């Protein structure tokens, strides 16, 4: 009987701490943390959590693109998956409707073609052309129109 006490204690401690070896898989509503590396079809890297903090989000909350949510769902802690997410499940296709003309007085002084600015809503925009009174701004997401490949490793699940 005394030999079982340490094993029972370890099992209870692991359960109380949310033991990572429980075999539980991530599902909608879970707060998760992942490490990832993102690449484009040409192999160039557009983002990575390597060397930094993992990306933390809640599955299904809209904090991550839909295809990313779906790739993480079903993973257990320590598992990895590589997934290619088509543009329509990532940041969508590029849209000419998101290229707009604005008055120069709405932009910082000295703005030039190719400048990246932050909109009042907090998104990144690119100055496409500067005229004498107006500028053309591309408000498409920088990764719009791109299929994205992610190498994802699930670090933790809370939920």
We report the CATH number of the domain holding residue 132 as: 2.40.10
For residue 129, the Cα-to-chain-centroid distance in whole angstroms is: 30
Give the position of tokens 């099992």: 11
User: What does the alpha-carbon distance between residue 90 and residue 122 come to, in Å, rounded to a whole number?
Assistant: 19
CA neighbours closer than 13 Å in the CB half-sphere of residue 147: 8
In a domain? residue 134: yes
Does one domain contain both 150 and 121?
A: no
Reported confidence tier of residue 9, pLDDT bands at 50, 70, 90? very low
In a domain? residue 150: yes
Reported confidence tier of residue 22, pLDDT bands at 50, 70, 90? low
In the chain, how many domains are there?
A: 2
Does one domain contain both 81 and 41?
A: yes
Does one domain contain both 130 and 150?
A: no
Domain that holds residue 124: 96-138
């Amino acid at each position: 009987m005394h030999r079982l006490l340490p094993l029972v204690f370890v099992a209870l401690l692991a359960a109380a701490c949310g033991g990572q070896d429980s075999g539980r898989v991530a599902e909608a509503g879970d707060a998760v943390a992942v490490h990832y590396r993102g690449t484009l079809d040409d192999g160039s890297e557009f983002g990575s959590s390597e060397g930094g903090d993992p990306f933390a989000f809640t599955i299904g909350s809209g904090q991550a693109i839909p295809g990313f949510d779906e790739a993480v769902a079903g993973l257990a802690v320590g598992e990895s998956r590589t997934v290619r997410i088509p543009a329509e499940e990532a940041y969508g296709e590029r849209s000419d409707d998101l290229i707009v003309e604005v008055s120069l007085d709405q932009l910082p002084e000295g703005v030039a073609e190719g400048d990246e600015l932050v909109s009042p809503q907090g998104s990144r925009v690119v100055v496409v052309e500067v005229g004498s009174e107006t500028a053309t701004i591309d408000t498409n997401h920088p990764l719009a129109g791109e299929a994205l490949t992610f190498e994802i490793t699930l670090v933790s699940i809370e939920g």
